[in-house]
Chain A
Amino acid sequence: MASFPLSLVSFSLTFLFFLSPALSTNSEGNALHALRSRFNDATNVLQSWDPTLVNPCTWFHVTCDANNHVIRLDLGNSNISGSLGPELGQLKHLEYLELYRNDIGGKIPKELGNLKNLVSMDLYGNRFEGKIPKSFSKLKSLRFLRLNNNKLSGSIPRELTGLSNLKVFDVSNNDLCGTIPVDGPFSTFSMESFENNRLSGPELQGLVPYDFGC
């Protein structure tokens, strides 16, 4: 029967076996470790992610600030497959979420909208499906949002027009529908950012609903 309360995911550094239960009371480390368990890491990019360490700040591809809070996650071009989970929303101090050009699928968790300090979110070049979460409208610091080359569907949430700091926005090569927003920062984005979707062109305010054609 249940003989031990914690089942730590097996880790390549097995000789540190005696370090359980995990010392890490650090919620950010736990969140990243939960993320790792969702990933298939074919090339061992995440090998250094030792859950028995007090914080994740010496893990590769993770960057912390002076207070040991995670501010960057750099896993672009890393041959990772799997999916994301709600736990990523616990990285409250995250500024850069770089997961571009991998093989990550499933839905984009709405909890990413909790990352209030996020400056850049690059999820392009994956297999994400489902809708662009409306919760992204809470990412008031966001300057770079690239979701291109995925399988996203539905319409572009109108709420994103409130992201006044947004400088780069790319949703090309998805399966989005409806019309393209024109308000706020969207007035500055080139049409290249929207091509190869089922979008029906810039919205004509007052004439058709934005999700027309969806």
Chain B
Amino acid sequence: MRSLTFDRVCPLIYCLLLHVHLLSSQNYFPHFASASSTTEAEALLKWKASFLNQTSHNNQLKDWIYLPKSSDTNATNSSSTPKANGSPCIWTGISCNAAGRVTNITIASSGIQGMLHEFSFSSFPCLEYLDLSFNKLFDVIPPHISFLSKLFHLDLSNNQLSGRIPPKIGLLRNLTSLHLHRNNLSDDIPPSLGNLKSLVNLSMSYNLLNGSIPASLGGLINITILYLGKNNLSGTIPKELGNLKSLVDLQLSINRLSGSIPKTLGDLTYLTTLYLYSNNLSGTIPKELGNLKSMVDLRLSFNQLNGSISKTLGDLTNLTTLYLNSNNLSGTIPKELGNLKSLVDLELNTNQLSGSIPKTLGNLTNLTTLYLYRNNLSGVIPPSFGNLKSLVNLSMSYNLLNGSILASLGDLINITILYLGNNNLSGTIPKELGNLKYLTDLSLSTNQLSGSIPKTLGDLTNLTTLYLYSNNLSGTIPKELGNLKSLVNLQLSNNQLSGSIPTALGDLTNLTTLYLYSNNLSGTIPKELGNLKSLVNLQLSTNQLSGSIPTTLGDLTNLMTLYLHSNNLSGTIPKDLGNMKSLVALQLNTNQLSGSIPKTFGDLHNLKNLYLFGNQLSGFIPQNLGNTQKLTVLDLDNNHFSGYLPQNICRARSLIRFTAHNNHLIGPIPKSLKNCTSLFRVRLEGNQLIGNISEDFGVYPSLNFIDVSNNQLYGEISQNWGFCPNLTTLRLAGNKFTGSIPAEIGNATQIHELDLSSNGLVGKIPKEFGGLALMVKLMLDGNQLSGRVPLELKSLIDLEYLDLSANKFNDSIPSFVGDFVKLYYLNLSNNMFGQVHFPTSKHFKLLLQKHCKATTACVAT
């Protein structure tokens, strides 16, 4: 920033003349009013009067009022207007030169809500310094600003100015500082700015500027700071910027700049800061950047830069920050980066870097952040990393690192975040990690780590996240983990952990997620888990847990997911689980739970998924389950339920999947299913459901699979099935349906499997079935169907399975079955076919040879 000389005398002739006359006599002033029709004071007051917030801003500008000079009032023969006599030079924020002309206006952070239109630029011919930053100025910057020809410092930053930057700003040849950042300025950067040869500092970041960066900016030969970041600038970076030899700080980040980084930037030898991050830059990183020996902070991240990292970057020995992350960089990490002894923050993550991590990075003893995650790095973690004693953040996850985790990582005593997940690391977890007292996040998940979890991890009392999931860890869960009172996320799932769940985990009262699923855990679920009042997700599924579900789990009223499925749990389902009002998903399936479903489940109003299948549950299904307004999946199959299905089960029209097959259910199909347009999958087969269902099912836009086979249902098959556009499987076998097959089913062109077998159907196969070209399995056996098998069925060329046996079909064997090249099962037996002519195709011969012995009733012979 350049210091100000308030008492500088205006060098322009106009100003000199004015000066002389002002000194000689005030009376001459009105003659000059023709040059500036208002006085400076008047102009300032007029501008002030235009502010929208007349009441609130006044604190700082309250002295901006007329105070006629005592000399004026005492003057004899004073014919001048009072206006002409007020001097603003003593007002807040105003400074004048010796001649009493305003040279400096600094009214930053004054809460001004106004427009520059009302500012009479022409009234301030001597103004050198104008700072209106941190106000609420809005609307455009008027082109008249070019009248301020003396101006060397203009700061309009941090306002709400909009519109295009007036090209006439390019006339302010004395400007050394131009601050327009943090406004809403739009349109392009006027190329005329390139005329401001004195400019040292140009800041236009945080606007809405678009278009490309004018090559003319390459003419700003004195510039040291150029900020154009956070705009919508597009096009390429002009190579002419390489002419700006004085540049110290260049920030073009967060734009839409494309093309490659100009080599010429390597000529900017004074550059200490270069921000090009968050653009669409492509091509390689020019090796010439290695010339920028003064560079301290280099950020090229979030572009599409490719090629390898030039080893010349290792010459930038003053670097403290190097961000190359989130590009498409490939090749290896140059060992020369180990020369950058001043580096504090090195982020190379999210590229395609390969090869091993150079051991020289272990020389970077000032590093606090090292991010190498999401690359293809292989080999071992260099032993030299134990030297990085300043490290606070270390992430190398999502690579191909192998070998073991070094015990020396336990020397990184300042580390708070250590992420090594998603690699191929093997061996055991070193007990020395327990030394990392400041650790808050430890992720070693998705590796091949084996051995047991070290007890010493219980010393990491600041830990909030511990991810050890998806490894080969064995042994028991150390009870010492119960010391980790700060823990929020504990995920040990997908290992071979055995033994029982330590009751001490009940002390981790900050836990929101506890995942222990897919291990070999045995014993009972500790009732102490009921103390974990903050828990949102509790997943203990796929273990060998036994005993009953503790009633204390009902205290976990914040729980959203409770997965206890695929264990050996027995006993009844505690009615207390009905207290978990936040519960969204409850999975208790595949256990040996007995008794009935608690009626309290009808109160779980947030429940979306309820999985109870594969247990020994019995009794009636509570009718109030239909009260759960959000229920989308209800799986009750393979239990011993009796009684009726809940009649209101789809009251909320949100049910997507409903399975209750293989129970002892009686009674009708629930009435609410008829208009349950959300249905996707329904399985009710293998019960004793009874009733005439001719009218029970509607038209379902999403229905994919329905099976009501092997019940006591009767009536006629509804033509509605033909209007379910996504139906792929329709199974109605083993009931007592009568009447004929509706031709409309031929409209359901997504049908892959149709099973109407073992009913009392009569009539012919509709010729419309020829349109079901995706059919894979067609079973019409065990009915009273008759007539000729329609020739149209020849278009079912994907048929794998065709059973028409035990009907009354006549005429000849349909010879086109010989063309079904995917057919592996064909049964036409027990019909009344007259002529027996087997197809002669090569495929059919093989079908006979290959599958007759595999299937008992193959082809009628």
Chain A interfacial positions (CB closer than 8 Å to B): 1-2, 5, 13, 15-16, 18-19, 21, 23, 25, 48, 54, 58, 60-61, 72, 74, 76-77, 95-96, 98, 119-120, 143-144, 167-168
Query: Binary interface profile of B, 655-668, with partner A (CB < 8 Å = 1, else 0)?
Result: 01100000000000
CA of A158 to CA of B407 in the docked complex: distance in angstroms? 52
Q: Is the CB of B850 within 8 A of A19?
A: no
Query: Binary interface profile of B, 414-455, with partner A (CB < 8 Å = 1, else 0)?
Result: 000001011000000000000000000101011000000000
CA of A31 to CA of B280 in the docked complex: distance in angstroms? 42
Across the interface, which residues of B come within 8 angstroms of A119, CB to CB? 854
CA of A48 to CA of B589 in the docked complex: distance in angstroms? 23
Q: Is the CB of A18 within 8 A of B633?
A: yes
Across the interface, which residues of A come within 8 angstroms of B729, CB to CB? 58
Known contacts A19-B633, A54-B613; A5/B515 CB under 8 A:
yes
How far is the CB of B748 from the nearest CB of chain A, in Å?
15
Across the interface, which residues of B come within 8 angstroms of A61, CB to CB? 776, 800
The contact sample of 29 A-B pairs, CB cut-off 8 A, is A1-B395, A1-B397, A1-B421, A1-B443, A2-B422, A2-B467, A13-B704, A18-B585, A19-B633, A21-B539, A23-B565, A23-B587, A23-B589, A23-B611, A25-B542, A48-B728, A48-B752, A60-B728, A60-B753, A60-B776, A72-B824, A74-B822, A74-B824, A76-B821, A77-B821, A77-B822, A96-B854, A119-B854, A168-B850
Check B680 for interface membership: any CB of A closer than 8 A: yes
Check B651 for interface membership: any CB of A closer than 8 A: no
Q: Is the CB of B632 within 8 A of A18?
A: yes
**Closest chain B residue to A120 by CB distance?**
B850
Known contacts A2-B397, A5-B445; A16/B656 CB under 8 A:
yes
Known interface pairs A16-B633, A21-B517; 15 further A-B residue pairs with C-beta atoms within 8 A, sorted by A's residue number:
A1-B443, A2-B445, A13-B704, A18-B584, A18-B632, A18-B633, A19-B609, A21-B539, A23-B565, A23-B589, A54-B613, A58-B705, A60-B753, A72-B824, A76-B822
Name B609's contact: one of A1, A18, A25, A167 (CB within 8 Å). Answer: A18
Known contacts A23-B589, A74-B822, A95-B854; A1/B419 CB under 8 A:
yes
Across the interface, which residues of B come within 8 angstroms of A143, CB to CB? 850
Check B736 for interface membership: any CB of A closer than 8 A: no
How far is the CB of A134 from the nearest CB of chain B, in Å?
25
Most buried by A among B470, B821, B854: B854
Query: Binary interface profile of B, 163-195, with partner A (CB < 8 Å = 1, else 0)?
Result: 000000000000000000000000000000000
Check B494 for interface membership: any CB of A closer than 8 A: yes
How far is the CB of B221 from the nearest CB of chain A, in Å?
47
Check B590 for interface membership: any CB of A closer than 8 A: yes
Check B608 for interface membership: any CB of A closer than 8 A: yes
Binding site of A, secondary structure by majority: helix, strand, loop or mixed? loop
CA of A18 to CA of B753 in the docked complex: distance in angstroms? 27
Check B469 for interface membership: any CB of A closer than 8 A: yes
Q: Is the CB of B824 within 8 A of A5?
A: no
CA of A19 to CA of B729 in the docked complex: distance in angstroms? 21
How far is the CB of B850 from the nearest CB of chain A, in Å?
6
CA of A74 to CA of B821 in the docked complex: distance in angstroms? 11
Across the interface, which residues of A come within 8 angstroms of B824, CB to CB? 72, 74, 96, 98
Across the interface, which residues of A come within 8 angstroms of B470, CB to CB? 5
Q: Is the CB of B752 within 8 A of A60?
A: yes
Across the interface, which residues of B come within 8 angstroms of A5, CB to CB? 445, 469-470, 491, 493-494, 515
Across the interface, which residues of A come within 8 angstroms of B590, CB to CB? 25, 54
How far is the CB of B588 from the nearest CB of chain A, in Å?
12
**Closest chain B residue to A21 by CB distance?**
B517
Most buried by B among A23, A96, A98, A167: A23
How far is the CB of A141 from the nearest CB of chain B, in Å?
11
Query: Binary interface profile of B, 446-468, with partner A (CB < 8 Å = 1, else 0)?
Result: 10000000000000000000010
The 5 closest A-B pairs by CB, nearest first: A5-B469, A2-B421, A25-B566, A60-B752, A74-B800
CA of A76 to CA of B585 in the docked complex: distance in angstroms? 39
Across the interface, which residues of B come within 8 angstroms of A120, CB to CB? 850
CA of A72 to CA of B851 in the docked complex: distance in angstroms? 12
Q: Is the CB of A18 within 8 A of B800?
A: no
Across the interface, which residues of B come within 8 angstroms of A74, CB to CB? 800, 822, 824
How far is the CB of A12 from the nearest CB of chain B, in Å?
10
CA of A143 to CA of B846 in the docked complex: distance in angstroms? 12
CA of A5 to CA of B609 in the docked complex: distance in angstroms? 20
CA of A167 to CA of B854 in the docked complex: distance in angstroms? 14
Across the interface, which residues of B come within 8 angstroms of A167, CB to CB? 849
How far is the CB of B565 from the nearest CB of chain A, in Å?
7
How far is the CB of B274 from the nearest CB of chain A, in Å?
29
CA of A9 to CA of B126 in the docked complex: distance in angstroms? 71
Across the interface, which residues of A come within 8 angstroms of B705, CB to CB? 58
Across the interface, which residues of B come within 8 angstroms of A58, CB to CB? 705, 729
How far is the CB of B714 from the nearest CB of chain A, in Å?
25
**Closest chain B residue to A146 by CB distance?**
B846
How far is the CB of B841 from the nearest CB of chain A, in Å?
14
Q: Is the CB of A2 within 8 A of B566?
A: no
How far is the CB of B448 from the nearest CB of chain A, in Å?
16
How far is the CB of B685 from the nearest CB of chain A, in Å?
11
CA of A21 to CA of B704 in the docked complex: distance in angstroms? 22
Known contacts A18-B633, A25-B566; A2/B446 CB under 8 A:
yes
Query: Binary interface profile of B, 716-748, with partner A (CB < 8 Å = 1, else 0)?
Result: 000000000000110000000000000000000
Across the interface, which residues of B come within 8 angstroms of A18, CB to CB? 584-585, 608-609, 632-633
How far is the CB of A70 from the nearest CB of chain B, in Å?
15
Query: Binary interface profile of B, 631-668, with partner A (CB < 8 Å = 1, else 0)?
Result: 01100000000000000000000001100000000000
Across the interface, which residues of B come within 8 angstroms of A168, CB to CB? 849-850
CA of A76 to CA of B820 in the docked complex: distance in angstroms? 12
Known contacts A23-B565, A61-B800, A77-B822; A15/B656 CB under 8 A:
yes
CA of A76 to CA of B846 in the docked complex: distance in angstroms? 14
Q: Is the CB of A16 within 8 A of B657?
A: yes
**Closest chain B residue to A71 by CB distance?**
B854
Across the interface, which residues of B come within 8 angstroms of A25, CB to CB? 542, 566, 590
**Closest chain A residue to B659 by CB distance?**
A54
**Closest chain B residue to A144 by CB distance?**
B850
CA of A61 to CA of B584 in the docked complex: distance in angstroms? 34
Query: Binary interface profile of B, 489-512, with partner A (CB < 8 Å = 1, else 0)?
Result: 001011000000000000000000
Query: For chain B residues 679-703, which have a beta carbon within 8 Å of chain A?
Result: 680
CA of A19 to CA of B824 in the docked complex: distance in angstroms? 34
CA of A119 to CA of B656 in the docked complex: distance in angstroms? 39
How far is the CB of B43 from the nearest CB of chain A, in Å?
59
CA of A74 to CA of B799 in the docked complex: distance in angstroms? 11
Across the interface, which residues of B come within 8 angstroms of A96, CB to CB? 824, 854
How far is the CB of A191 from the nearest CB of chain B, in Å?
18
Across the interface, which residues of B come within 8 angstroms of A2, CB to CB? 397, 421-422, 443, 445-446, 467
**Closest chain A residue to B446 by CB distance?**
A2
CA of A143 to CA of B584 in the docked complex: distance in angstroms? 51
How far is the CB of B60 from the nearest CB of chain A, in Å?
48
Query: Binary interface profile of B, 829-861, with partner A (CB < 8 Å = 1, else 0)?
Result: 000000000000000000001100010000000
How far is the CB of A74 from the nearest CB of chain B, in Å?
5
Across the interface, which residues of A come within 8 angstroms of B422, CB to CB? 2
Across the interface, which residues of A come within 8 angstroms of B563, CB to CB? 21
CA of A2 to CA of B609 in the docked complex: distance in angstroms? 25
CA of A96 to CA of B855 in the docked complex: distance in angstroms? 12
CA of A167 to CA of B705 in the docked complex: distance in angstroms? 39
Most buried by A among B491, B753, B850: B850
How far is the CB of A130 from the nearest CB of chain B, in Å?
25
How far is the CB of A196 from the nearest CB of chain B, in Å?
18
How far is the CB of B822 from the nearest CB of chain A, in Å?
6
Across the interface, which residues of A come within 8 angstroms of B633, CB to CB? 16, 18-19
Query: For chain B residues 495-540, which have a beta carbon within 8 Å of chain A?
Result: 515, 517, 539
Across the interface, which residues of A come within 8 angstroms of B421, CB to CB? 1-2
**Closest chain A residue to B469 by CB distance?**
A5
How far is the CB of A133 from the nearest CB of chain B, in Å?
22
CA of A77 to CA of B822 in the docked complex: distance in angstroms? 8
**Closest chain A residue to B585 by CB distance?**
A18
Across the interface, which residues of B come within 8 angstroms of A23, CB to CB? 565-566, 587, 589, 611
